[in-house]
């Protein structure tokens, strides 16, 4: 058995992730959320330069911060991010405002997390599961937006029923209809979850169905982004943005 001593792609979880200290110089670590952008990008470049990772990616953050990090890396000849991992699904499309256009313009691959909205898109709104009752993160993200999201879920159900496919097919097909999306991150806890996700590649939506899904969407408060750091301009951090992570 051959074990690689490197990562092909290191997807950092959030800005200021102290786990970077495991692979770089500890003296560069100030604490969670305490790294400046310059030190953070230099430390990631050190990981690539040392052969411990070949490529790097970033996760949910403000588009302006991501652009600043990319610019810092390019200006100093360091490794740039090749992927962005945002929250993006039929129930949360706020990344269409800034992050997705930025990634498309800069040639950054987009690998969204929570493509099924933590299961919300795969069942009727009234149907509960152990996760809907115990997943505090999901409750915070989606429960407060029930009135906004139910019309979208109803359309997902209608389209899935019309084609006799699982609702997950509709959610995944919608994501893959977007040219900016490289591949969604699928959280499979059962073999059938993976089988359903793979078979979704053979399903596609018509333009009319995509429009039907999208016209039901209403704007949501910013969610899924790490708490702003000290260098965040106050005007860019409404209270609704200080959630989760």
- Global pTM value: 0.80
Asked if the model's pLDDT at residue 6 lies above 80, the reply is yes
pLDDT one-digit tens code per residue, 125-180: 666 666 556 665 555 566 666 778 999 999 999 999 999 999 999 999 999 999 99
Task: Please spell the DSSP secondary structure of 65-92, one letter per residue.
Answer: HHHHHHHHHHHHT-PPEEEEE-B-BTTB
pLDDT score at 144? 60
Exposed (0-12), middle (13-18) or buried (19+): which is 61, by Cβ within 10 Å? buried
H/E stretch holding 57: strand 53-59
- Greater confidence (27 vs 160) lies with 160
- Greater confidence (18 vs 160) lies with 160
Asked if the model's pLDDT at residue 202 lies above 60, the reply is yes
Asked if the model's pLDDT at residue 18 lies above 60, the reply is no
pLDDT one-digit tens code per residue, 86-125: 999 999 999 999 999 999 999 999 999 999 998 899 988 6
């Amino acid at each position: 058995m051959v074990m690689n001593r490197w990562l092909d792609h290191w997807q950092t979880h959030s800005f200021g992730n102290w786990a970077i200290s495991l692979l770089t110089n500890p003296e560069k670590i100030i604490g969670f959320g305490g790294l400046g952008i310059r030190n953070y990008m230099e430390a990631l470049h050190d990981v690539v330069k040392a052969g411990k990772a070949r490529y790097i990616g970033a996760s949910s953050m403000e588009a302006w911060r991501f652009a600043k990090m990319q610019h810092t890396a390019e200006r100093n000849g360091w490794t740039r991010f090749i992927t962005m991992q945002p929250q993006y699904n039929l129930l949360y499309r706020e990344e269409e405002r800034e992050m997705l256009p930025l990634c498309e313009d800069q040639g950054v691959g987009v690998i969204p997390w929570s493509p099924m909205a933590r299961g919300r898109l795969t069942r009727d709104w009234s149907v509960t599961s152990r996760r809907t009752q115990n997943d505090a993160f999901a409750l915070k993200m989606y429960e407060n937006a029930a009135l906004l999201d139910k019309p979208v879920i109803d359309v997902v159900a209608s389209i899935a029923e019309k084609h006799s496919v699982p609702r997950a097919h509709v959610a995944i097909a919608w994501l893959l209809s977007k040219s900016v999306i490289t591949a969604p991150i699928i959280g499979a806890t059962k073999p059938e979850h993976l089988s359903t996700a793979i078979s979704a590649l053979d399903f596609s939506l018509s333009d009319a169905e995509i429009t039907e899904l999208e016209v039901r969407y209403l704007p949501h408060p910013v969610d899924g982004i790490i708490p702003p750091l000290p260098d965040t301009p106050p005007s860019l951090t409404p209270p609704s943005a200080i959630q989760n992570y």
